[in-house]
Structure 1
Amino acid sequence: DELVELRAGLEDAVGGRGRSFLVVGEAGIGKTRLVEELAREAAERGHLVLWGRCWEGEGAPPYWPWIQVIRAYLRIAHSEGLPRVAGGAGAPYLAQLVPELGGAQSPGPSVPPQSEHARFYLFDAVATFLQSRPDHTPLVLIFDDLQWADTPSLLLLQFLVHELRDTAILVVATYREMEARQNPHVADILGALARDGRHLPLRGFGEEEVALFIEGKTGRSASAALVRAVHRETEGNPLFVDEIVHLLVAEGALERWDATVPWSLPVPQGVREAIRRRLAPLPAPCRDALTLASVVGREFGLGALQAACGLGADALLEVLRPALGREVLVRDPRTAGRYRFAHALIRETIYEELGAAERARLHGRIGEVLEALHQMDPTPQLATLAHHFLEAVPAGAAEKAIAYSTRAARYAEASLAYEDAAVLFERALEVLAEAHPADARERCELLLARGGAQWKAGDGPGAREAFRQAADIARRIGDAPLLARSALGFAGEGSRLLWVRSGVVDQPRIELLEEALDGLGDRDPGLRARLLARLAINLYWAPEPERVLALSEEAVTLARQLGDPRDLAAVLRARWIALWRPEAAEERLAIADEIVRLGEQTADRELALLGRRFRIVGFLEHGDVVAADREIEAWAQIAGELRQPRYLTDLAMWRATRAIMDGRFAEGEQHARRALELGEREPEVEPAMRHAVQMSVLQFHRGQLEHAV
């Protein structure tokens, strides 16, 4: 059965062959109970078991299940000596995510705070941290209710699953298929995770299991007729069976049930109706407190609920005592003063009973309570505050909804949760459109912010549309700097593309950049330099080579006058692209040298690698293979420290090129294959096309012309 499969996966992990499982099934089918049994067995064997529970609905901080995992790891490992974040470039990002890790990190290679590869560094740091256990104890990671996980958390899980080979790590995650399907992006990632691991769909109890469950719950055997009736009505759903047995016992029906009259079984219409009947006998103050708790979420702290109910700690515990007695609520064993609904469906059932107006009013009350509780440092609670005030908009909370969703979006972006940021900026825009439709400037700023987050999340079409709308507003209100920022975003600034697509002349980009330049004039030299550089790049394939040179030269001149090394490096890149022609090889090599110096001056290794990329090209153009080999080895050292797949792909490609040039064809083929494998993690580098070109050159030099094309 499923537990047997999970046990076999645990044995593989103990043997250094990491495994992953996705346990899927409807609500109440027993997913959590199954993995709890596995967790209990693993813990009894001395393995380290860490849980990450996803927060139902919105309001959780970015990477919330991972924050729980890492914090639990720190609590357990504290007495044994903390693992170190082994020299990774992601150490600062990881410490930002979990500040308690600040003292556990090793110094890493310097990368800029807004590196386009920042999220890879974070993911790599998490994987390295979890693999660096000092005692090499097997690790079991359990993620519950992935249907509610934020996209960045799922992407991090996907990254870790790719890294499981040769590790003593078992990953088990649960999710409800129906809810997961409602979010296509979540469904896609879960589908990829299922392909990378083992998919375990759960079925309900059979009649024999129902009989055993009733006996275990009541201490007495049930008749075959009663077992058949319960199984028929519940379809074996364990939670539903549990609720029916609760009702049978509470209503005294177990003793008087007549097997010859099957319709006398008091079966509710579905598990939610069963839960309602279970809650009905609770005193009114207890039900009121549970209603407020359901607005907070599946888990809640007594402090927030006290303030919301207006009760002292002792009084609140007395009010909640009947719910604890009926196992509607359970204490959180990990944290004092925290409680959770015994099952997510209990919380959902209570919450769904609220009317729209009451729901908005209570969210507003909870938002106010949390705002007061965390007024000294609201940062960790920004997503939660945004969620409650967004839900409270019908009750008059529009101003706070806009403010907190914008702050939460900026925090999410700084935490590398770009998808979360884009969604929060969109929510702020929706509220702004209803509450302040005339505030064009604020709308423009929010569109620019959303476009930037979408570029980083890889949503190019969405980003372009956001920047196009921002440009329309900036044009309408006559704000030249806003129009310039819109044009830069629309034309690809903030995306991961080094260049424009081969042969592409994107006329809408060019026209918007030209309009922005005309409108800006000489008012903002830094902004003007960036516009000139971006226009030069976008005009590269246009039949205006002299104009491209002039634009890039003006951009460099302005940047040198301003003296900002990062702005200068950006426009020098545009100048290098503008000079991509044989007669300009010397000047391009000089630009490459300057970019390397700027990278070293600012301790920005990624910028230094860009300069070294240009150097390798320049030295090979000049036929100076000794200098090219020296640069490739320098590249290898930095790329090995940063561990970024794109840089390692390029390294394998450079080594394949040099081996083919020297006639070491077998070695060249090996490096080319390595570049193709690494490039699968970075599709933007077009690994298949690169591999095909290198193999054609290799076959040509081997004299196998029939295979060269």
Structure 2
Amino acid sequence: MLVNSSTVVGRETELALLAEGLADARQGRGRAVLLLGEAGIGKSRLAGEIAYRAFGAGLTVLRGRAGTAGGATMPYRPIAEALLSLFRVGGPPQEPALAPYRSALAGLLPQWREAGAPAEAASVIETAEAVLRLLDVTARKAGSVGCLLVLEDLHDADAETLAVVDYLCDHLAGLPLLLLATLRPEAGPAGQLARRAVARRAAVSAELGPLTAEEVSALATAALAASTGQPPVRGSLPPEVAKRLVQDAGGNPFVVEELLSGMITNGALSRGPGGGWLVRGELSADVPRTVVHSVTERAARLGPAGRSLLETAAVFGHRFSLPVLRRVAGLGDRDLLAYLRAGIEAQLVSPSGPVADWYEFRHALTAEALLAGLLPSERAEIAARAADAIEETHPGLPGEWGPQVAALRLAAGDRSAAARRYAEAGRTALGERALDSAVRFLERAQDLLDGPGQAAERTAVVERLVRVLVESGQLDRALALAETLPETGPGAPPTERLAALHAQLAWAAVMAARHLDAAAQVHHVRGLLNRLDTAALTPAVEVVEAHLALAEQEVSGTERVGRAERLARRAAEAAERLGDAETACQAWQLLAVLARRHGFDHADACLEHGLALATEHGLTNWQIGTMVRLGVNDFMRNGSSASLERAHRATLDHGALGLMHGAEATLAMQAVLRGEFTAARELTDRCLAATARLGNADDHRYVLLTRAALAAHRGRRRELDQELSEFRRSGGEQSLHQALVFGNRAVCSLLEEDHDRALAELDEAIGWENRHPSVFYLNGRYGLRPLLLALTGRGTPAEHRAAAADPAAGLRWNRQFERLAHAVHEGRAGRPAEAAAAVAEAREAARPFPMAHRLGLRLVADAALADGWGEPVDWLREAEEYFHRSGVPAVASACRGLLRRAGAPVGQRRGGTALIPAGLRRQGVTAREYEVFLLLGARPGNQEIAERLFISARTVEKHVASLLAKTGRPHRAALCDYAAETDFPAV
């Protein structure tokens, strides 16, 4: 008789921890729990118990296991199994929010592969983000109050699964998810993951220790009762049996059950006449030998053929495929199924999850016990036959078959064949973007190719490994490994191939802004090319040199840009002649950026050419990336986001998550400029966490900068400073995005009516751009700054004409301000008709930009009143209405002051009370006092406040006195501190 029980005994602390995790998941407080313990200690038993409780509580439960197959693992196997266990019947969810992630998930869910293969297999991080989004949707679906994801035997998991688990641990907070992973506490990648996750407080861990003597007795009693179908009866376990179990099992539940089974099988323990249990023989045993004996004896009861079948299956590992086992064992279907059913009845094997024709041993120790009964030569012979069978049954070795055959060839003693299979598995994993697995397989192949006459094979593996390390972002390792490749002698690769490898390293280094490494690789490639008669690699080198030219700080900006453009153009033309489409696309994209200074028509021509190349050669990511850039240019010229929105839809269709977030971040910035602040907030909220999780540093900084722009364009200085602090913490000051900081500050200063500060910010932007080649053209240099220079009298008409002649001045955002600057100069020169015509042109250019348009009207109205031209009263009324409704009191007040100065009637604005924070409103602060309060944070004098609000200094003094009395501040400095700390209203 065989005994086992699903009863959990003695795990109160761990159960309490997991129950708390379930409760937190139901409240939207996700967490990860890592359950550690030796083989047989009860991890799966405890996971099953908590899964049962979760299901009963209304949570969706997903389970997957990372069992090995012949020492090899398939990327994402336990995660795919967990998802398939839920979606096999009803299919995956169809929520629109998952649309961008369908391509990334297609590798895990066959049901979604029909949606079209992705342009390029998803990276591990993209897959991890997609899994996180899918779990979140699953947890929130109708009828579910959360989700429990159980991943068992993580110590056997592939590198990609571990990467996804690590990612999930870091990003579960705030989601209705509980992740429970079980693993052995031994050293290894999974153990390292557990220690790191716990150390950074991304997960909690619990290690299962041995059961106490009392708990061992309770478990044995429950197991014996389960074997008879009766409820457990206290005291029914003979004392000598309990003593022997405590002594020999070491508190391990699996060993307890195996010992009990052995005692019953050999007749030492049997049921008495009244249903109790009696000892009838010798109970002593050696634990490891007993477990092995128990397993092998049960296998032997299946007969020689049945035992041989299970021993053969054990060579495959914890899991095995029935069709392959049939071929290796040489049994007919009838005999095979008969032995398999007997093995299931003997509780040695069971079906493996939701996958048909796959089976697994009841426990990892079961397979190990069966293998212990084989001689090394027997195991090697079975492994060789198994490898042959897989190769015959699965031509091409798709999925996990390649690494499994490699492991079997190694077990058979054929190191060369194993190395070749590991190398092929590495190529396959690379094609599936399972880069960590590709690295692991190629490293195994490299280690095995150490014999004489294998130098050439080893070199080929090292070359591929270097390329995979580059793609996985491990540039340091790639550079170091590339240095080990011989340039002459046995195993040396052809010079052209070696040069191509170092050219790829050069491109990777320059894209990572590691200019010294890139320059060193270029120098190496140039030396290798001197030995060749071909110029095939010259374009790839010159593209890198073009980027390096832009980074030469000791050379003037104009000279840098000119040299970069010459190199990039030469590279583009040569690459096209040589049929190197990818290098040509690299060059044309750089040329498009450089060509902006000649006009955006030139930039678009470069992009259109690159787009045609990418389309012709099927370079989908380059194609979509170019479409995004064209959409950006279209907005800059015309103020329309339609082209970028089409490109954004293309990123969704192809699952290009990196490009998708870049497009969304740009759409958010465009929404800010169009005054669509709610849309901009929604887009940045969507992108902020995702770009941080995915490690898209450049996109993440741009999102942070967009949030800063959003605050600036609403006149919210405190929010602006907070967002810029986050931008600096992300390394933004060292990026080209720093150029936009000054322009955003200038806009905020204008909305605070601090025109001198705004001009100082724009002057600082000019200084920064003179030191760095600018790739941004809406930062004030060609529009807003010329306007402020005209208004202050610092700019002359001749200087304005020079700025207006630059192609960037024709961009729609810049043109609205440039035309107003021209109007100021014309009005001041006594040409009112020309000035009015320029204002009309500015109004046409400003149609997509309502906030900027009204700000421009407010700015130019001051000069129009002074010089007697235009319709300043109408402009001021329009601007006052807009800024009053938008909650920008300083500008609205300035407009009212100018209207009074013009002698125009000004209605009272009492509706501003709703904009006052609740705390100040309760203290009785009026709308006019609040306008003064907003300006006090910068500690200006009364006269400065009076000038900004167009009221008298005496009136300001009265408002300050009233604010001191109402807020209870002892003096003006304390009131200024209070103003600096108070949040602006949400409008």
> What TM-score results when the alignment is normalised by the length of structure 1?
0.79
Q: Deviations over 1:373-420 (max 9, x none)?
A: 223x6423443444345425624x734x34433332222122221010
Q: CA separation in 1, counterparts of 2:126 and 2:576? A: 31
Does structure 1 conserve the Cα–Cα contact (< 8 Å) formed by 2:470 and 2:505?
no
- Counterpart of 1:437, as a letter, is Q
- Counterpart of 1:280, as a letter, is E
Out of 161, 167, 170, the residue aligned to residue 178 of structure 2 is 170
Q: Which stretch has the larger CA shift, 380-389 or 121-130?
A: 380-389
1:217 matches 2:229: no
Q: How does 1:521-560 map to 2 (within 5 A)?
A: 521-524=533-536, 527-538=537-548, 540-541=551-552, 551-559=567-575
1:15 aligned partner: 27
Out of 94, 99, 102, the residue aligned to residue 83 of structure 1 is 94
1:268 matches 2:320: no
Q: How does 1:515-594 map to 2 (within 5 A)?
A: 515-524=527-536, 527-538=537-548, 540-541=551-552, 551-559=567-575, 561=577, 566-572=582-588, 586=597, 593=604
Out of 205, 226, 229, the residue aligned to residue 199 of structure 1 is 205
Deviation, structure 1 residue 152: 1.0
Deviation, structure 1 residue 344: 0.8
Q: CA separation in 2, counterparts of 1:566 and 1:416? A: 19
1:361 matches 2:381: yes
Out of 111, 129, 132, the residue aligned to residue 127 of structure 1 is 132
2:874 aligned partner: none
Does structure 2 conserve the Cα–Cα contact (< 8 Å) formed by 1:444 and 1:474?
no
Q: Deviations over 1:619-672 (max 9, x none)?
A: xxxxxxxxx998932797998689544224322124436856997431223323
Deviation, structure 1 residue 294: 0.7
- CA 1:381 to 1:121, structure 2 compared with 1: closer, same or farther past 3 Å? closer
Does structure 2 conserve the Cα–Cα contact (< 8 Å) formed by 1:24 and 1:31?
yes
Deviation, structure 1 residue 479: 2.4
- Counterpart of 2:369, as a letter, is T
Deviation, structure 1 residue 309: 1.0
- CA 1:555 to 1:590, structure 2 compared with 1: closer, same or farther past 3 Å? farther
Q: Which stretch has the larger CA shift, 29-38 or 534-543?
A: 534-543
2:158 aligned partner: 150
Q: CA separation in 1, counterparts of 2:391 and 2:246? A: 47
Q: CA separation in 1, counterparts of 2:363 and 2:268? A: 24
Out of 63, 84, 88, the residue aligned to residue 76 of structure 2 is 63
- CA 1:416 to 1:214, structure 2 compared with 1: closer, same or farther past 3 Å? same
Q: Deviations over 1:660-696 (max 9, x none)?
A: 699743122332355578x5xxxxxx46977998999
- CA 1:486 to 1:565, structure 2 compared with 1: closer, same or farther past 3 Å? closer
Q: CA separation in 2, counterparts of 1:594 and 1:665? A: 40
1:682 aligned partner: none
Deviation, structure 1 residue 36: 0.7
1:342 matches 2:362: yes
Deviation, structure 1 residue 598: 6.2
- Which consecutive unaligned segments of at least 5 residues does structure 2 have? 1-11, 226-234, 272-278, 638-664, 673-679, 746-756, 762-936, 940-987
- CA 1:615 to 1:530, structure 2 compared with 1: closer, same or farther past 3 Å? farther
1:398 matches 2:416: yes
Q: CA separation in 2, counterparts of 1:50 and 1:19? A: 15
Does structure 2 conserve the Cα–Cα contact (< 8 Å) formed by 1:52 and 1:143?
yes
- CA 1:576 to 1:517, structure 2 compared with 1: closer, same or farther past 3 Å? farther
Q: In terms of Rg, which structure is larger?
A: 2
SS in 2 for 1:380: coil
Deviation, structure 1 residue 463: 1.3
Q: Deviations over 1:90-138 (max 9, x none)?
A: 42232244332234x5x99xx8527xx8443332222223333442523
> What TM-score results when the alignment is normalised by the length of structure 2?
0.59
Q: CA separation in 2, counterparts of 1:516 and 1:32? A: 57
Q: Which stretch has the larger CA shift, 299-308 or 227-236?
A: 227-236
- Counterpart of 2:132, as a letter, is A
Does structure 2 conserve the Cα–Cα contact (< 8 Å) formed by 1:471 and 1:482?
no
1:651 aligned partner: 703
SS in 2 for 1:143: strand
Does structure 1 conserve the Cα–Cα contact (< 8 Å) formed by 2:84 and 2:354?
no
Deviation, structure 1 residue 64: 0.9
- Counterpart of 2:430, as a letter, is E
Q: CA separation in 1, counterparts of 2:737 and 2:546? A: 30
- Which consecutive unaligned segments of at least 5 residues does structure 1 have? 619-627, 680-685, 705-709
Does structure 1 conserve the Cα–Cα contact (< 8 Å) formed by 2:84 and 2:109?
yes
Q: How does 1:100-115 map to 2 (within 5 A)?
A: 100-103=111-114, 113=120
1:302 aligned partner: 322
Q: Deviations over 1:559-580 (max 9, x none)?
A: 4556776433312456689x7x
Q: Which stretch has the larger CA shift, 24-33 or 382-391?
A: 382-391
- Counterpart of 2:416, as a letter, is A
SS in 1 for 2:64: strand
Q: Which stretch has the larger CA shift, 63-72 or 89-98?
A: 89-98
1:40 aligned partner: 52
Q: Deviations over 1:195-238 (max 9, x none)?
A: 31221221221222111122223347234554344223333111
Does structure 2 conserve the Cα–Cα contact (< 8 Å) formed by 1:569 and 1:595?
no
1:621 aligned partner: none
- Counterpart of 1:570, as a letter, is Q
- CA 1:554 to 1:692, structure 2 compared with 1: closer, same or farther past 3 Å? closer
Does structure 1 conserve the Cα–Cα contact (< 8 Å) formed by 2:383 and 2:412?
no
1:426 aligned partner: 443
1:208 matches 2:205: no
1:452 matches 2:462: no
Q: CA separation in 2, counterparts of 1:535 and 1:358? A: 60
SS in 2 for 1:451: helix
Does structure 2 conserve the Cα–Cα contact (< 8 Å) formed by 1:467 and 1:489?
no
SS in 2 for 1:425: helix
- Counterpart of 1:69, as a letter, is A
Q: Which stretch has the larger CA shift, 555-564 or 453-462?
A: 555-564
SS in 1 for 2:511: coil
Q: CA separation in 1, counterparts of 2:33 and 2:21? A: 8
- CA 1:588 to 1:448, structure 2 compared with 1: closer, same or farther past 3 Å? farther
Deviation, structure 1 residue 522: 3.8
- CA 1:153 to 1:654, structure 2 compared with 1: closer, same or farther past 3 Å? same
Higher relative contact order (CA closer than 8 Å, sequence separation 6+): 1
Q: CA separation in 1, counterparts of 2:452 and 2:101? A: 40
- CA 1:356 to 1:614, structure 2 compared with 1: closer, same or farther past 3 Å? farther
- CA 1:563 to 1:432, structure 2 compared with 1: closer, same or farther past 3 Å? closer
- CA 1:73 to 1:673, structure 2 compared with 1: closer, same or farther past 3 Å? farther
Does structure 1 conserve the Cα–Cα contact (< 8 Å) formed by 2:572 and 2:583?
no
- CA 1:558 to 1:691, structure 2 compared with 1: closer, same or farther past 3 Å? closer
- CA 1:655 to 1:216, structure 2 compared with 1: closer, same or farther past 3 Å? closer
Q: CA separation in 2, counterparts of 1:612 and 1:667? A: 29
Q: CA separation in 1, counterparts of 2:546 and 2:528? A: 14
1:187 aligned partner: 191
- Counterpart of 1:159, as a letter, is Y
Out of 237, 244, 249, the residue aligned to residue 264 of structure 2 is 249
Deviation, structure 1 residue 290: 1.6
Deviation, structure 1 residue 488: 1.5
What is the CA RMSD across the aligned residues, in angstroms?
A: 4.4
Does structure 1 conserve the Cα–Cα contact (< 8 Å) formed by 2:36 and 2:182?
yes
Aligned pairs, how many? 656
- CA 1:612 to 1:318, structure 2 compared with 1: closer, same or farther past 3 Å? closer
SS in 2 for 1:434: coil
Q: CA separation in 1, counterparts of 2:409 and 2:540? A: 37
Q: CA separation in 2, counterparts of 1:333 and 1:422? A: 29
Does structure 1 conserve the Cα–Cα contact (< 8 Å) formed by 2:390 and 2:401?
no
Q: CA separation in 2, counterparts of 1:519 and 1:142? A: 58
SS in 2 for 1:61: coil
Does structure 2 conserve the Cα–Cα contact (< 8 Å) formed by 1:329 and 1:342?
yes
2:669 aligned partner: 632
Does structure 1 conserve the Cα–Cα contact (< 8 Å) formed by 2:73 and 2:404?
no
Does structure 2 conserve the Cα–Cα contact (< 8 Å) formed by 1:54 and 1:149?
yes
